[in-house]
Structure 1
Amino acid sequence: MTRQGAYRNPIAKYVHEYMFWKKELAEKGFLPNGHYEALFTTLFGLEKTFYDGKRLLDIGCGPCGSLEWAENAARRVGLDPLAEAYRFLETDRQQMEYTPDFVESISFPDASFDVVTSINSLDHVDDLAKATAEMARVVTPGGHVLIACEISPAPKPCEPTLVGWDLAARFPGTWRILDVSRFPFTGNVSASILQGRPFAPSAPIPTHGVLRLMLQKGGESFEKDAGGKPF
């Protein structure tokens, strides 16, 4: 779960990330975001109404407007260290908010959000333990953490942190696992889930794949409720 060798240069990582999106904008003339609703609903087996009146925080959101679709939410915040630079990619035209935080040091108070999401972003972080601790801190008791992440055997330039199948255990505090599913990796994290089938629970644990994880944060009264799988 640590960064390795040639991938320890964070500056190169962020330059690579920004230039990717800048090229996308130059080639297409806009950054499409129409596909995001399915990533936050269908991918996790949820309806859009799940987000009614909730405060949302999307980790590693990028500049496309990942939460523009969620007009039914009470608040929509995208977290990305490059948020200020992304203003040059026209994020000011969007309705959602952006915060230029590192996930290892989120600027919001405890229990600020009802749903914290990370779709194909946790392997981009610099310190996974701090990242999961901060995500746990800012979600309210009874709130949810939704994650889709590649589980890779080797680091990549923009994905220097190796995340394991045991990711749920990395979140401090009391949680319930509402879903933990392992999918074959087909070249794209979201497509691997939306178009694929999960490995059978009895199958050998693969070294490479995609993890879908849904957690609900516990609390004094929450722990008395039924349902879910505690750990």
Structure 2
Amino acid sequence: MFTPAGTARQSLHPKDNPFNWPDFRFGRNGAPRWGSLATATVVRKWGNPRAPLKLTRTYAFPKGATAVHRWTDSGFDGSPIERERLVPMLARSLDRLLPTLKAINADVFAKRAFEFAFWMKLRAQQRMSGIYEPCFTQLVDLALDDYRGKRVLDIGCGPLGTLEWADMTVERVGLDPLANLYQKLGTDSHKMTYVTAHSESIPYPDGHFDIVSCFNALDHVDDLDQTIAEIKRVVAKGGIFLLGVDTNHAATIAEPITIDWDIGKKFHPEMSIEVERHYERSSTNYIDVMNSKAFFDHADPRPRPGIIILKLRKVL
């Protein structure tokens, strides 16, 4: 039925359909109705399962009405379409399986796999481009000059160059357990050092960094208390820790830690709070949240997640 090599182009009858496509439920904005697959056009470079795939489906409906669905896909590795569809689906499936994954000690592996898929999707969309520097300055009441000559560590940095803006520093390090995999996403060209390590065991001596940050990552860690102990250890006396994290959300495969509003107390007595702000979670972009000035209404009893921003200074 198929050409064994080269490019195949076939018009298939439903009974010959190797993909076994089900009937299509039509009418999202109206009364649902069922249609049967009448024809399907398949274009694939055979012999390579990851080669570009183009599908054209034609559905037949009562009284001669038809609907055509076209889908062009270049495989999970390189297709924004596939990532848009599969990453949220993967997250929902893994979240439902979280208790089982924990029971068999597979939750951390699943979390890493999902996080890498998430960064592949985000990098393709380039949603975060250009927003990092304000997170390190405007969001936490710091200026670029505050970074001059300093050693800076960003925990849970991801692969998008969170510290590329910081040319005035003497050292800028991004720490992430997936940093070695991020090389596939182009981190080798970034103007910062990536270190593959867990936040529970930071491979630097006591007091090495003047400024340590952790934005949208503290709820991703494997051990919250050990991570906090390591942060307090590597920040120099008089140095600063910057934190931005979602609060009061249900545990998920990627964010297994639920953070409370009093997270700042866990850094006492070694650190004191200089800036603390609570926001409604109107966006996942912290700068958009800051500009919205939608401060969290603690008088509203509805259970819901929020965002806490902290600047702490090491005093002991």
User: Which residues of structure 1 form unaligned runs of 5+?
Assistant: 220-231
Q: Bigger shift: 191-200 or 78-87?
A: 191-200
Q: Give the alignment partner of residue 40 of structure 1, picking from 121, 136, 139.
A: 136
Q: In the alignment, does 2:295 pair up with 1:198?
A: yes
Matched with 2:160 is 64
Q: Calculate the aligned-residue CA RMSD, in Å.
A: 2.1
Contact 1:182 1:198 survives alignment (8 Å): yes
- TM-score of the superposed pair, with normalisation by structure 2: 0.63
Give, in whole Å, the separation in 2 of the partners of 1:203 and 1:180. 18
Q: In the alignment, does 2:215 pair up with 1:119?
A: yes
Q: Bigger shift: 177-186 or 15-24?
A: 15-24
Matched with 2:231 is 135
CA shift for structure 1 position 129: 0.3
Larger-Rg structure: 2
Contact 2:296 2:306 survives alignment (8 Å): no
Whichever residue aligns with residue 144 of structure 2, its letter is K
CA shift for structure 1 position 178: 0.1
Matched with 2:78 is none
Give, in whole Å, the separation in 2 of the partners of 1:6 and 1:37. 39
CA shift for structure 1 position 153: 3.3
Q: In the alignment, does 2:183 pair up with 1:90?
A: no
Q: In the alignment, does 2:103 pair up with 1:5?
A: no
Whichever residue aligns with residue 58 of structure 1, its letter is D
* Identity between Structure 1 and Structure 2 (%): 38
CA shift for structure 1 position 170: 1.2
Q: Bigger shift: 179-188 or 86-95?
A: 179-188
CA shift for structure 1 position 194: 3.5
For CA contacts below 8 A with separation 6 or more, give which structure has more relative contact order.
1
Deviation string 1:149-173 (CA, Å, 9 cap, x unpaired) is 0002311221111111111111254
- TM-score of the superposed pair, with normalisation by structure 1: 0.85
Contact 2:173 2:193 survives alignment (8 Å): yes
Deviation string 1:69-123 (CA, Å, 9 cap, x unpaired) is 0001111000000000101111011110011110011111100100010110101
Whichever residue aligns with residue 293 of structure 2, its letter is G
Contact 2:179 2:196 survives alignment (8 Å): yes
Q: In the alignment, does 2:312 pair up with 1:215?
A: yes
Classify the secondary structure of the residue corresponding to 1:177.
strand
Contact 2:232 2:270 survives alignment (8 Å): no
More strand by share: 2
User: Which residues of structure 2 form unaligned runs of 5+?
Assistant: 1-97
Distance 1:152 1:49, change over 3 A: same
Query: How many residues are aligned here?
Result: 213
Q: In the alignment, does 2:116 pair up with 1:22?
A: no
